[in-house]
Amino acid sequence: MSTVDYQQVEFEYRKSPDQDAAAPAHHPVVVVGAGPVGLTLAIDLAQRGQRVLLLDNDHKLSTGSRAICFAKRTLEIWDRLGVAQRMIDKGVSWSVGRVFFGSQEVYRFDMLPEPGHERPAFINLQQYYAEGFLVERAQALPNLEIRWKNKVTALAQDGERVTLSVDTPDGAYALTAGYVAACDGSRSPLRAMLGQESKGRIFQDRFLIADLKLPGPLFENDATERWFWFDPPFHRGQSVLLHKQADNVWRMDFQLGWDADPDAEKKPERITPRVQEVLRQGFGREVPFTLEWASVYTFACLRMDRFRHGRVVFAGDSAHGVSPFGARGANSGVQDAENLAWKLDAVLRGRAGDALLDSYAAEREYAADENILNSTRATDFITPKSEVSRLFRDAVLGLARDFPFARRVVNSGRLSVPATLDGSALSTPDADAFTPALRPGAPAADAPLRKGGQPRWLLRELGEGFTLLVFGPAPAWARDLDVHVVAIDGQVLADAQGLAAQRYDARPGTTYLLRPDHHVAARWRAPG
């Protein structure tokens, strides 16, 4: 467990030799923004052998918990980067959610109902911990340089390079880059420098986030569940969300309504009575607490028209934004980073043409649209804007306790799942018959294996590049390919519980080609 107070950490600004250079220094790739997305991208590129410069206009980690809910797919990506175990050890693992209407429980759900996955469905971990662990990993990589208090103030590009103007405590300087990854957040200055904007829908509702430090367990069994109330007695006509973070800090989200004054609602004298009512009526007792952080936000679902503009590529909140319910923001951004890293690496090495980066934009724009659709539906259900919509929602909630079909309609934030990249130009359509699971474009599924008699996990066997996953002996022709081969042959590597074959709809000879980001590129029953 970490003993570092990541809310108090400050990183030292150091003057770079680039600032005194007679001509702008050139860097193959510059990442702008040291949040979870920018750090993930920079680490991934550096682990692939690229020299990476990461610029951030601040010298601290994020304030408050912010993005706290990290999904299994994100943890699997961070496993490759060497940080996931720290996140899991510090965070709170959970998979069960409970939904209430008024004071009665409507139903509960389990996000990971099947066995045989190494990583939990979700962990809750304050964003400053995630960033802190990623920074420490980045600092351990010799080919990754982070420059704090380096603020990009201007950007220009031609067909060969991008020129950046950077402001520092020692004055301004210029540098050039082969490619720039803009991971500079929802208010992205780089987006504005290119004359671009995010478009979409802003919902007329506001929510309060309150982080509360409790002296002990809130639940008698110290459960780590996600609780969501529609129209509870302690917050009539609105909704409340509750879940646990690291250090026995609990987050509460209160729907406030569009007319709420954001500045007034963040004051402790307004927050404390709200929280006390939740604890008194929701749990039947007085519970002491300390308010650690609070913020008020407005629901919005927005994205740029295009994520690629020449040699500048946008990822994370700079490219797209969704309302917080559903944990789609940071998780989708980390998937952006993974998608971009291997493609940018291939282009920089000359193994692929520049057009490969267009597939990043197409695939992640598709994923953003899917997230925005799900987030919009959740927002409309949580915050109905007409009497008819509210009557429909309340009728669904009333039926959900007794009728499973109604539970499928209840939407307290459809929780993040990775996008299946349907229609990707990088996918080969099936020529053979398969079940719908793990079709081309889908992310690879984990499963328990045995290797040399020892337990292993399928995802840990996959390579950094393309992987040929074979259910049976490795074929002789695979030796001529520049791919990593994983052969589940029952001898060296065995399907411990039969779950790999089940999840991949595999028979003897079934073969999958997996991309470096572990999405399915193609599959065959018996390739020749």
Measuring CA to CA, how many Å separate 371 from each of 6, 99, 171, 491, 506?
30, 22, 41, 42, 30
Q: Tens digit of pLDDT for each residue in 345-387?
A: 999 999 999 999 999 999 999 999 998 988 888 888 888 888 9
Residue 326: per-residue pLDDT: 66
Residue 3: per-residue pLDDT: 76
Judge whether 471 and 503 are in contact, CB under 8 Å: no
| 134 residue type, one letter | L
List, in sequence order, every residue forming a beta bridge with 314; answer none if it has no partner: 182
Residue 497: per-residue pLDDT: 95
At a CB cut-off of 8 Å and minimum separation 6, what does 5 contact? none
Q: How many whole angstroms separate alpha carbon 304 and alpha carbon 320? A: 6
Residue 1: per-residue pLDDT: 42
Q: Work out the burial of residue 99: count CB atoms within 10 Å of its CB; fewer than 13 is exposed, 13-18 middle, 19 or more buried.
A: buried
Tokens of 163: 């020129």
Residue 175: per-residue pLDDT: 98
Of 308, 517, 326, 321, which is closest to residue 413 (Cα–Cα)?
326
Judge whether 251 and 242 are in contact, CB under 8 Å: yes
Q: How many whole angstroms separate alpha carbon 235 and alpha carbon 265? A: 14
Judge whether 438 and 518 are in contact, CB under 8 Å: no
β 52-55/484-487 pair status: unpaired
* Helix/strand/coil for 404: helix
Of 266, 320, 296, which is closest to residue 205 (Cα–Cα)?
296
Q: Kindly report the CA angle at 82 between 78 and 86, in degrees rounded to 5?
A: 80
Residue 221: per-residue pLDDT: 72
pLDDT in tens, the chain (528 residues): 457 899 999 999 999 999 999 999 999 999 999 999 999 999 999 999 999 999 999 999 998 888 899 999 999 999 999 999 999 999 999 888 899 999 999 988 887 778 899 999 889 999 999 999 999 999 999 999 999 999 999 999 998 999 999 999 999 999 999 999 999 999 999 999 999 999 998 887 889 999 999 988 887 777 788 899 999 999 999 999 999 999 999 999 999 988 899 999 999 999 999 999 999 998 888 889 999 999 998 888 899 999 999 999 999 999 999 877 767 789 999 999 999 999 999 999 999 999 999 999 999 999 999 989 888 888 888 888 889 999 999 999 999 999 999 998 988 776 778 899 999 999 999 989 998 778 999 999 999 999 988 999 999 999 999 999 999 999 999 988 999 999 999 999 999 999 999 999 999 999 999 999 999 999 999 886
Q: How many whole angstroms separate alpha carbon 490 and alpha carbon 73? A: 27
DSSP string for 314-359:
E-GGGTEE--STTS-HHHHHHHHHHHHHHHHHHHHTTSS-TTHHHH
At a CB cut-off of 8 Å and minimum separation 6, what does 174 contact? 24, 163, 164, 165, 166
